[in-house]
Amino acid sequence: MTFPLPAPMRRALDLAAEAASAGEVPVGAVVTKGDTVIAEARNAMRGSVDPTAHAEMVAIRAAAAALGQPRLDGCTLWVTLEPCAMCAAAIAISRIGDLRFAAEDPKGGGVVHGPRIFAQPTCHHRPDVLGGIGEAEAAEQLRRFFAVRR
């Protein structure tokens, strides 16, 4: 049985496709509060010449600015790839309540792989995490993107 993707993940996947078209690694992110989209972003490292311009980081910054506060309590981050350690730490610091991601990242992930940031005793906030939402499409976007470059 196939279920339709939640609208924020659908939008994140569309943003990831935009990133790929711009030559960026195809990752998209959307921050919601309830049913309201607060911010959205795609990877922008190359275009902005900023190594921290991961989709999650850009979306978190935009959400904090939109809400006028550094804490994103009650917000959900929807992202097409398991966040890296940097992004996972930012998720914890910003107090995002829920993390929903599509594809796991065994090489660079920081949530269910690698350093597992939320499992560390020094992590003071742990969002509710659910992966695998839209995983097949996100993984295919990444495969296509890197196939051309390898």
43-63: average pLDDT: 98
94-123: average pLDDT: 98
Who contacts 47 (Cβ-Cβ below 8 Å, separation ≥6)? 22, 23, 24, 53
Q: How confident is the model at residue 62, as a pLDDT? A: 98
Residue 87 in marked binding region: yes
Q: How confident is the model at residue 148, as a pLDDT? A: 86
Locate 71 and state its tokens: 């804490």
Question: Among positive and negative, which fits the CA dihedral 38, 132, 19, 43?
Answer: positive
Residue 75 in marked binding region: no
6-20: average pLDDT: 98
Using an 8 Å Cβ cutoff, are 119 and 87 in contact? no
61-77: average pLDDT: 98
Residue 3 has pLDDT above 80, yes or no: no
Query: How far is residue 20's CA from residue 9's CA, in Å, rounded to a whole number?
Result: 17
pTM of the model: 0.96
Residue 123 in marked binding region: no
User: What percent of the chain has pLDDT above 90?
Assistant: 95
Query: How far is residue 59's CA from residue 53's CA, in Å, rounded to a whole number?
Result: 9
Using an 8 Å Cβ cutoff, are 56 and 79 in contact? yes
107-129: average pLDDT: 97
Extended strands (E) in the chain? 28-33, 36-42, 75-81, 98-103, 128-130
Average pLDDT, the chain: 97
Q: Which residues are designated catalytic?
A: 56
Q: How confident is the model at residue 149, as a pLDDT? A: 80
CATH topology of domain 7-143: Cytidine Deaminase; domain 2 (3.40.140)
| pLDDT confidence bin for 1, thresholds 50/70/90 | low
Query: How far is residue 26's CA from residue 116's CA, in Å, rounded to a whole number?
Result: 22
Give domain limits for the chain. 7-143
